[in-house]
């Protein structure tokens, strides 16, 4: 597992993945991507993992990477997720999923091609994916539409 973005949310992802690894779960934290040299150096030292300044650098150095958490600013979620998915890496995208509905549709199309199976970490209500959900007649038809994406949503959001 790699974590892309080491701001406050990214630091939480690093901590949780390491806790899961330490608990014996089948997760191994292997890298982080963060353009801020001071932050990436400190966190790389703390977690004992290599740090890269870009996703491209990560993919060159870690060709067998299976999954990555995306915890970068929302405006770059689409670009980062696309780059990772095209490389065959499963992604967990921090909320909100994308900055626009068009970007959400494009990622849904990409995921529909089954390049990778991915997870959306969604808890907000005013994001493009929820707008799409609200227009679907049933949750079942929505899930069928997006193929391999699994939504982690509280049941109260659907009632």
Average pLDDT, the chain: 78
149 vs 53, which has greater pLDDT? 53
What tens digit of pLDDT does each residue of 63-89 get? Answer: 899 999 999 999 999 999 999 999 989
Q: What Rg do the C-alpha atoms of the chain give, in angstroms?
A: 16
Calculate mean pLDDT across residues 35-60. 97
- β pairing state of 90-93 and 118-120: parallel
Given pLDDT bands bounded at 50, 70 and 90, which one contains residue 4? Answer: very high
Q: Which residues contact 38 (CB under 8 A, 6 or more apart)?
A: none
List of domains in the chain: 2-158 (3.40.50.720)
């Amino acid at each position: 597992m790699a974590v892309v973005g080491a701001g406050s949310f990214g630091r939480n992802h690093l901590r949780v993945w390491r806790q899961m690894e330490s608990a014996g779960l089948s997760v191994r934290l292997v890298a982080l991507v963060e353009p801020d040299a001071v932050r990436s150096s400190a966190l790389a030292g703390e977690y004992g993992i290599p740090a890269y300044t870009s996703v491209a650098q990560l993919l060159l150095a870690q060709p067998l990477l299976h999954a990555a958490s995306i915890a970068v600013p929302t405006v770059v979620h689409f670009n980062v997720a696309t780059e990772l998915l095209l490389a065959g890496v499963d992604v967990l995208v921090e909320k909100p999923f994308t900055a626009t509905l068009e970007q959400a549709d494009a990622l849904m199309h990409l995921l529909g091609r089954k390049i990778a199976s991915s997870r959306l970490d969604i808890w907000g209500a005013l994001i493009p994916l929820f707008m799409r959900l609200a227009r679907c007649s049933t949750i079942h038809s929505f899930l069928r539409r997006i193929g391999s994406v699994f939504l982690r949503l509280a049941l109260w959001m659907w009632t």
